[in-house]
């Protein structure tokens, strides 16, 4: 690994890297210098090494027993965003989604305003087809740049992916990471777009517990209903477990108000909410957050 320019750490505490401020350690963590450096790192990695890309950690919980593999951190490192000669926006996976919204509006491009309400990186937005306030990520995508375990870059079209509500994955391949995407956005009124972004952020601030450690919406909305409505109707607003609590401001958020809740406490509360909603309404809430790693025994 002598050619690498990034930083490799061992037993990296994930509480410092996820928005819940809880969880175990990653056995190895790599912070690439840039995309070519990440390519070189993947060429050096064992083919069977468990691998997970992490952006801002805004949709992730690492169990207290830790993740026995390698996590690659992209935020602030795979951070190129530019307009290409053909008018598309090239956005690398580590760019924060709100930055994409502002960058597009400043170029008088519209349609990306909703990304201001997505707290993670654009790589995460691609992986989960993130959306809010009527917008979703993949309708903006013209093509994507993928990175495989051999360090090769591959351009792919949207029709090569199975894309659904809060999910996007390659149909026939499982070992590729999102490196970047090209977005096609229509020209429009940049000033109006910036106003819409400001309004969206104000609405988010007023309706979500952004002042407390959280991971955004915990559950996907079931068909023709809202997870928050079901959780509130089940009497679970304010329910707590080991320092973790269902937010009184928005029932589809679990918060860690004192920063002292363990990953186990958060996961137990999440499971309790699922069980109560299932028992009372017969609805199975699907997790929107990703939980990885081993439980501590």
Q: Which residues of the chain have pLDDT under 70?
A: 1-2, 297
Query: C-alpha dihedral over 107, 109, 112, 115, to 10 degrees?
Result: 10
Q: For the whole model, what pTM was predicted?
A: 0.92
Q: Does 220 map to a domain?
A: no
Backbone angles phi, psi at 137, to 5 degrees: -70, -50
**What is the pLDDT at residue 97?**
97
Domain count, the chain: 3
Which of 73, 95, 119 is at the close of a domain?
Answer: 73
Q: Does 1 map to a domain?
A: no
**What is the pLDDT at residue 174?**
81
**What is the pLDDT at residue 297?**
65
The answer to whether 222 touches 126, Cβ cutoff 8 Å, is no
Question: Are residues 85 and 69 located together in one domain of the fold?
Answer: no
Which of 146, 173, 207 is at the close of a domain?
Answer: 207
**What is the pLDDT at residue 281?**
98
Which of 32, 57, 73 is at the close of a domain?
Answer: 73
**What is the pLDDT at residue 258?**
95
The answer to whether 38 touches 72, Cβ cutoff 8 Å, is yes
**What is the pLDDT at residue 175?**
86
Q: Does 219 map to a domain?
A: no
**What is the pLDDT at residue 1?**
64
Q: Does 47 map to a domain?
A: yes
CATH code: domain of residue 115: 3.30.465.10
Question: Are residues 33 and 93 located together in one domain of the fold?
Answer: no
**What is the pLDDT at residue 144?**
98
Q: Quick count: other Cβ atoms within 10 Å of Cβ 297?
A: 5
CATH code: domain of residue 276: 3.90.78.10
**What is the pLDDT at residue 133?**
85
**What is the pLDDT at residue 16?**
94
In whole angstroms, give the CA distance from residue 20 to residue 216.
9
Question: Are residues 15 and 123 located together in one domain of the fold?
Answer: no
Q: Does 38 map to a domain?
A: yes
Q: Does 215 map to a domain?
A: no
**What is the pLDDT at residue 107?**
98
Q: Which residues are known catalytic residues?
A: 166, 217, 288
| Domain of residue 114, residue span | 81-207
Q: Quick count: other Cβ atoms within 10 Å of Cβ 80?
A: 13
Q: Does 193 map to a domain?
A: yes
Backbone angles phi, psi at 175, to 5 degrees: -110, 30
Question: Are residues 106 and 184 located together in one domain of the fold?
Answer: yes
The answer to whether 130 touches 117, Cβ cutoff 8 Å, is no
């Amino acid at each position: 690994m002598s050619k690498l320019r990034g930083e490799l750490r061992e037993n990296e505490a994930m509480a410092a890297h996820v928005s819940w401020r809880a969880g175990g350690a990653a056995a190895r963590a790599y912070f690439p210098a840039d995309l070519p450096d990440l390519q070189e790192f993947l060429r050096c990695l064992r083919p069977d090494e468990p691998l997970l890309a992490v952006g801002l950690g805004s949709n992730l919980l690492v169990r207290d027993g830790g993740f026995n593999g390698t996590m690659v951190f992209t935020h602030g490192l795979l951070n190129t965003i530019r307009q290409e000669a053909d008018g598309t926006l090239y956005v690398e996976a580590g760019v924060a989604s709100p930055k994409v919204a502002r960058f597009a509006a400043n170029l008088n491009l519209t349609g990306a305003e909703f990304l201001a309400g997505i707290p993670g990186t654009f790589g995460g937005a691609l992986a989960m087809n993130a959306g809010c306030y009527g917008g979703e990520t993949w309708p903006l995508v013209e093509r994507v740049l993928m990175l495989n375990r051999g360090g090769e870059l591959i351009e792919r079209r949207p029709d090569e992916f199975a894309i659904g509500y809060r999910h996007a994955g390659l149909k026939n391949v499982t070992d590729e990471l999102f490196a970047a995407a090209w977005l096609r956005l229509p020209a429009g009124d940049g000033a109006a777009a910036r106003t819409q972004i400001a309004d969206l952020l104000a609405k988010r601030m007023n309706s979500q517990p952004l002042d407390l450690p959280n991971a955004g919406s915990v559950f996907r909305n079931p068909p023709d209903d809202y997870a928050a409505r079901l959780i509130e109707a089940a009497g679970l607003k304010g329910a707590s477990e080991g320092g973790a609590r269902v937010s009184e401001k928005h029932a589809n958020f679990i918060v860690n108000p004192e920063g002292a809740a363990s990953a186990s406490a958060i996961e137990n509360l999440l499971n309790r909410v699922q069980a109560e909603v299932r028992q009372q309404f017969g609805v199975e809430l699907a997790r929107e957050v990703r939980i990885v790693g081993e439980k501590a025994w």
